Structures are given as C-alpha cells and as structure tokens.
Amino acid sequence: MKPFIGILPSYTYEAKQIFLNKSYLDEIMASGAVPCVLPLTSDEETISEILSHIDGIIFSGGSDINPNYYGKEDTGKSKEINPLRDECEEIYIKIALKKDMPILGICRGMQALNVFCGGSLIEDIPSEYKIETIHNLEKPDIAFHKITVLPDTPLADIIGAGVHTVNSYHHQAVDSLAPYFSIAAVSEDGITESIFRNDKRFVLGVQWHPERDHIQAECNKIIIDRFVEICSSLKGE
C-alpha cells in the first residue's frame, strides 16, 4: 500500500480559503505516495487523530511567521502574517515530533520547525545583511544559487555532500538554531539552507522548494523521492 503524506496548506483571510500549490500534490504522487491536504485546526485531539492515519507530513511554504513567536516585535519586515496558520502549525509540529513521524519542512516549513522548537529567524535578509547571493526575485522570475551540503548529515545521505544548485524564494532565514537541530547546508554567503534533527527518525528542513524546478535544480526530485521512501519504510511502525 502506498504511504499517505499529509501537507499543511496556506490560508487566505480575504477569501476564507485554504490553498496549496499543485506541484506539492503532483510530486508526491509522482514519487509513489498519496497526498492528503490537512485541515487548519488547533484542536490537539483532532490533530493527533489525523496524524495517526498518515505516514509522514510536509510543512509547506507560505507567508511569514509572526516574529512575536521568536521574541521580536512586528516592525513590518515580516509579510502577510497568518495567525491561523501560525497557531495550527505550532501544534501540528509539536504532535508530529512527539509521534516521531517523518517530517519535511519546505521554505516557510523549515522556518516553522525552527521557530516553533525554540529558534529564531532573520526577518529580512536584504535589509539586515550585506550579501551578494540573491535569495528571492519578484515573480515570475526565479532565483537560483549554490549551496554546500555538509557531510555526515541526512541531506548528504540523500543528495550527496558538496555543492548543489537550488531554487530560492525566500527573504527570511534561520537565525538562532532551535535546540536539538543541526545545520545540514549553507549558501555561499553563510545563510542556513537546511536543518535536521538526529534524535528523531527523520526530520529535515530545506529552505528551497524541492517540489519544483527539477531541470535547473536536479537534487530536488531526489529529496521528494527519498522522503516518500522513508515514509513507506516506516509505514505502520
């Protein structure tokens, strides 16, 4: 039986709708799993029940996390703050970690893992750091840059240690690292591009979007494929 992988979506207050880029669903299915879009609820009993029926969870990209969660004031640098998603995501992360489920955090999802486990963020890379690497461009343009994957990390096990090309859609990044997390990859300018936990079966965050741009970033599909394999191998445990 194929593994079932839950994905936490985004939410728009104006239309009162959840939404998720189709590429998440397409890539999960292409890798041999069944994607499930999860409800944005803060009820712990409901979340625990939901997670008992899936084999892994992806925290997707999206808008910025309220900086109050990591001890900073909201000065306007964080964009499109979404209180509902922040509240629900924090609980999903807490329960998923307690259940020791396979977890993949993508872009905002990696930042959420770090923040809701006790870390902090750089609120706006361009205004806070003088760096040459471009981490975000105005749509429809896409930024690409090099990262270095550190040896002896889960990411190195998946795509290999050394230099890789990734896409880049973010203006925020990990600042102080949450307890129990370690760095798996950095950009050319030293920005943290991937984090992981060794005390869990599989918890990996990547700052880029492995569910898209496979031609320019060849490592992307390998990450989704491997995550599905891990969810399948741990299914029912």
So which residues are the catalytic ones? Answer: 107, 209, 211
**Whether the Cβ atoms of residue 195 and residue 110 lie closer than 8 Å to each other:** yes
**CA distances, 19 to each of 37, 39, 95, 119, 151 (Å):** 9, 11, 23, 27, 36
Q: Tokens at residue 18, please? A: 């959840």
SS3 content of the chain, % helix, strand, coil (to 5): 30, 25, 45
Reading the block at residue 45, the tokens are: 């009993």
Dist CA 193 CA 170 (whole Å): 11
3-state secondary structure of 41: coil
Please list the alpha-helical segments (H only) found in 37-147. 44-51, 83-98, 108-115, 125-128
User: CB within 8 A of 104, min separation 6: which ones?
Assistant: 56, 57, 58, 59, 204, 205, 206, 223, 227
